[in-house]
Amino acid sequence: MQQVNLGMIGGGTVGSGVFHAWEKNGGLMAARLGVQLVFRKIAVKSFDEPRPYPIARNLMTTDWQEVVNDPEIHIVIELVGGTGIAKTMVLAALAQGKTVVTANKALLSTHGPELFAAAAKSGANLYYEASVCGGIPIIKSLREGFVANQFPAIYGIVNGTCNYILSRMKAEGAEFADVLADAQKLGYAETPPDLDIDGYDAQHKIGILASLAHGFWADHHAIHTEGIREISKVDMQFAEKLGYTIKLLGIAKQISGKKPGVQVSVYPTLIPNAHVLASVNGVFNACFVRGDIVGDTLFYGRGAGKDATASAVLSDVADAALDLKNGGKVRVAPFVACVKGGRIAPMDEIVSRYYVRLCVLDKPGVIAKIAAIFASAKIGISSVFQPESQTGASVALILMIHDAPNAAMRKALAKIAKLPVVKNKPVMIRVENFE
Ligand code: HSE
C-alpha cells in the first residue's frame, strides 16, 4: 500500500485531537483510502504543554521548519492559528510543493487569494474543511456535493460561543455579561473574547462560505459585522413574546434587482421560533443552505473542539492523500474564482425587516411622532407592542417594521433618537423570515 507521510505544526488541543483520532482510526482510513497515513513530525510549543491527549514524544520537535523542510513529509497540517507566523508556515510548506491542511479561518479570510495563488503556483493543494463549522463538512458540501447549484441563500450559526451565550440568555433570562463570564470559565470564550462576541470569527467563516458559493473572494473588509454585546435580556424576552429567537447569523444571500450583488454579513437576528435554526442551541453550529437545484438543506454539528475539528482535518488529509495516490494531481481546486465582477452589496442597500425597541415617555402623541418619521421615510410598521404592566415615566415600546432598506432605516432611527420623548438610544435588531 502507498504510504503518505504527515507533518503537523501545532500540538495543543486540536493538534493532539488530530493525533488521537489518527491513532484510533488511522487503520480504518488506510483501508478506506488504500493509502497508509504515517505521522513523521509534529512541531509543538513545548514538549510538556498541557494537551488533552498525549502525542508520541519521538515525533515532537519545537522547530516548525523541521516539519516544512523534511523531504519525506508530503502533507503539512497547520494548526497554529492567527495571521502572523501561520502565514509564513503555510507559504513555506506550499513553496516546498507540500499540500497544506489548515483549520485557520482568520488566515484564509485575510489572505485567501494570496494563499490559493501560492498553492496553484506550486502545484500543491490547500485544504480548509476545519476552518468553518468545525466537524460539519460544509466546505466539501458546497464545493463538491452542491457543485451543480447556485446559492440563493446561506444562513449559518457559525460561532459556538455566541450561540452558547444567546441560548443561555434565552433559557435562563440571564444578562449577556453574566453568561459571558461563565462561558470564559468553561473555556468556550477566549480571553479577551472579542473575536467571538464581536462577530469577527463568524465574519471569517461566512466570508469563506460566501466565496465558495459565489465564485469571487469575499473581502472581509466589505462584510458588515455586528456582534452580540448589545443584546439584552429584555430584547430576548420581547422577541420570545413575539414568537422569535435571537441568533447571531452569518448570511450570504444573492441580491437581484437594479444593483445585483451578494449580501455577506454577520449580525444578531430575530428568527421565527418555528424555523429549524431556532432550535440550534448551546455550542452547536448549523448551516441552512438553499441551493437553486437541491432546495433547502441543513447541516448541524459541533463547530469547535478537539474531536470535531480533528474529524474535519483528517477528512482533508484523506483528500490530500488521494491526490497523491492519483499521481499528485489536484483533483479539486481549493477555490475557483469563476465569477468576474462579483460584488458584496453594501449594508445600506440591503432590505430587511426589523425589531425596534424604544424607551419613550408614556404620554399622548408619542407613537404619532414616531410613526410620522417612519411614514415620511416610506417605512411601514407591521405591529406595535407596549407591555401594559410597565410603570414609571419611561416605558419600552416595541415596533416591528416591514421590509425597508437599511439606509432608510438607519436615517429614520437617527431622527427618532433625537425626539425629546425618546429617552435611550433605540435598539434595532434585524428580522429574518427565510423567504
Ligand atoms: N471560537 C469559535 C466558536 C470556534 O466559538 O465557534 C473556532 O472558530
CA of 105 to the centre of ligand 1 (A): 10
Ligand 1 pocket test target in 131, 159, 266 with most atoms within 8 Å of CB: 159
The predicted pLDDT at position 319 comes to 96
| Rg of the chain on CA atoms, in Å | 24
Q: What are phi and psi of 97, to 5 degrees?
A: 80, 15
The predicted pLDDT at position 360 comes to 95
The predicted pLDDT at position 390 comes to 74
DSSP 36: E
CA of 249 to the centre of ligand 1 (A): 14
The predicted pLDDT at position 263 comes to 98
- Stretches where the chain sits below pLDDT 50 are none
- CB-neighbour burial class of residue 8 (10 A; exposed 0-12, middle 13-18, buried 19+): buried
Picking from 274, 232, 228, 225, the residue whose alpha carbon sits closest to that of residue 251 is 225
CA of 201 to the centre of ligand 1 (A): 7
Q: How many residues does the chain have?
A: 435
Catalytic residue positions? 205
Second-level CATH architecture of 139-302: 2-Layer Sandwich (3.30)
Q: Are 245 and 273 in contact (CB under 8 A)?
A: yes
Structural domain spans, the chain? 2-135+306-325, 139-302, 350-431
Second-level CATH architecture of 2-135+306-325: 3-Layer(aba) Sandwich (3.40)
The predicted pLDDT at position 246 comes to 98
The predicted pLDDT at position 187 comes to 77
In the numeric block, the cell 463547530 is attached to 303
Q: Is 227 in the pocket of ligand 1 (CB under 6 A)?
A: no
Second-level CATH architecture of 350-431: 2-Layer Sandwich (3.30)
